[in-house]
Structure 1
């Protein structure tokens, strides 16, 4: 948190302007400038769930997703009433395997959720091309990948249909709660603006006397999911620091590269051409992962497996059997702290 943020919060608390307002709009403007996409909006709640509603996901629709994801990625599919269809991953990157994704497409497939593991972008062009071929939507989950880049552009500006962000406390930027969406199609973006505000077009909602106008028809479904002004203010106050914080994480990743370059039985996630990760965490692959986890923790390094493969949860009622990539990655992946709060002196162990 920037040191001066508390003074601004106090002013908002006693201003009476707590709901979506000037600071939320300022946050969105800063996000648009940073990402390079004018079609960005913030929302309260889970941005993946909002995206699924936006593209009109219905019961029995099929959504392709990786088992190696966060529950914030996969639970919204169940909540929307759709069917989770697991696809295998590339065990060297932790991201969806495009060839297996295409094999999983059926007439019921409505969307692909493309999860980027720990800030490391996956096969963006390949997944997008497959989706375009079959006329389905790609929803990128960049909740751990804000600020990551692909071919010189930040995620949210790479021609993907919808890119989702999380602004919860463990993310960058942190807005206390809520998330955001970067949308490629302007018409879909305008629909999203209506959907997050009960279908209301605020420009014509009230008449000259401030009363609700009969001339403003409500012809689309929506709910009240706009981000509040306090979250907008906290998020906006962090944006001037984002580049330096993410650069610090990249510097920390280089230190881990050096630490593990000759470490027996350890491989670093594959760094594909054109990709610059944001390093929400630093992932390694170890042949003796569980032993290494304990070894590193004894040194004072909080290593973690972070996510459990989601197909093990009974809520999904679907095991990803025979998935070689998932099996290998799940058994070998281990993550280390790489956040902006770590300084060079912290690596003296």
Structure 2
């Protein structure tokens, strides 16, 4: 029985192995390993991809979110609106700054923040909105920006899962006041360790984040500090390796889209909900998510067939133990809660072959026809 992983990072590495090794040697021979010319070049290249003036490399995607909010002055007494159907970091950074995360339920088809519910959550304490481009499909940014501008709010795009995705023909990253990316190894543009970036066209924000990432240091002197900051610097080695991968990004994203299309066709008559893609957006399928009432049993069955899957996300943020103090209860965000109980990811990556996809779908069809093994 052929084992099928959820993601095959080794297969991707083998394609570009020589270039990766050359980049490693280049950095090691340079003698500069943090915030050097490789980071500067990657910042320019990612900013150009997104159509922004600036890119700021930081230690990881979580820091990218937190440093941006901190630079805007978000803190105790403030509220930041986001979705409960996302990775914990999106709300965690709000809490780390002493502010309060306020949740808005998601659209049942796209799983993105339901913009129609956004206005009703805005109060005089609201400082910012964090729309999350979940699983690689952009949020309706025109609607988000209209609401935010009407109420004087900052907009921070959490694009950790969506680098290279497009909204109305334009790469995401330049619609909000700032956008953040994660270069965690499993991402569509993943490094060989942690890394992250903020992109923005706001010169003042760019300068603040650059200070914050090096302990709030003054540009004039290494040992003078204008504010309390962070140690959140992107390594030269990660930047160099990401620069090798960046030219492949569109090609790899298109490969994901083709494999998602094949899954959609093969699963057409299977009792699962396949991903919905808005026509005016380019979904880049960081994850290929299906829904079924029998999610946990199906995961178990596929595991027995050597097929890796994962539940995204089993517990919505408003029901996490750490957020009991916010006062949310089960039923407050019914769409998010339903999706959390039903959603799971199938194997999907640019190197996935058709034979493997047929094997995955065959196992799924067997499950719905005959039930679990044993």
User: Same fold by TM (over 0.5)?
Assistant: yes
CA RMSD between the two structures: 2.2
CA contact (8 A) 1:119 1:277 kept: yes
Measure, in 1, the Cα distance between the counterparts of 2:264 and 2:239: 36
Corresponding position of 1:329: 339
2:364 corresponds in structure 1 to: none
Query: Which of 196, 209, 212 matches 1:192?
Result: 209
* Contact 2:52/2:173 (8 A) holds in 1: yes
Tell me the alpha carbon deviations over residues 76-118 of structure 1, each in whole angstroms, 9 at most, x when there is no partner.
1111111121211112111111122221111111111111221
Residue 228 (str. 1) matches residue 235 (str. 2): yes
Cα distance in structure 2, aligned partners of 1:200 and 1:324: 45
Q: Deviations over 1:226-254 (max 9, x none)?
A: 31211211111211221221111111111
Per the alignment, residue 363 of structure 2 pairs with: none
For 1:306 and 1:323, the matched residues in 2 are separated by 16
TM-score (norm 2): 0.83
1:24 positional shift: 0.8
Matched, 1:343 2:353: yes
Residue number in structure 2 paired with 1:3 = 17
Partners of 2:45 and 2:118 in 1: CA distance: 34
Q: Which residue of 2 aligns with 1:40?
A: 55
Q: How does 1:81-96 map to 2 (within 5 A)?
A: 81-96=98-113
Deviations 1:304-324, CA, capped at 9 Å, x for gaps: 212231222221223354322
The answer as to 2:81 corresponding to 1:64 is yes
- 1:242 partnered with 2:257: no
Structure 1 residue aligned with 2:123? 106
Superposed CA deviations along residues 196-254 of structure 1, whole A, max 9, x for unmatched, are 3445565xx37xxxxx79xxx86555444231211211111211221221111111111
Per the alignment, in what secondary structure is the counterpart of residue 33 of structure 2?
Answer: coil
Q: Distance in 2 between matches of 1:250 and 1:273?
A: 13
Q: How does 1:1-349 map to 2 (within 5 A)?
A: 1=13, 2-4=16-18, 5-45=20-60, 46=62, 47-157=64-174, 159-175=175-191, 176-200=193-217, 202=219, 205=220, 219=226, 222-264=229-271, 266-308=272-314, 309-317=316-324, 318=326, 319-320=328-329, 321-349=331-359
TM, length-normalised to structure 1: 0.88
For structure 1, list consecutive stretches of 5 or more residues without a partner in the other structure: 207-211
Q: Is the 8 A contact 2:80 2:127 kept in 1?
A: yes
Q: Contact 2:104/2:113 (CA < 8 Å) preserved in 1?
A: yes
Aligned residues: 337
SS of corresponding position for 1:89: coil
Q: 1:61·1:109 contact (CA, 8 Å) conserved in 2?
A: yes
**What residue is the counterpart of 2:6 in the other structure?**
none
Farther off after superposition, 72-81 or 303-312: 303-312
Greater fraction helix: 2
Q: Structure 1 pair 253/272, CA: closer, same or farther in 2 (3 Å)? A: same
Gaps (5+ residues) in structure 2?
1-12, 360-374
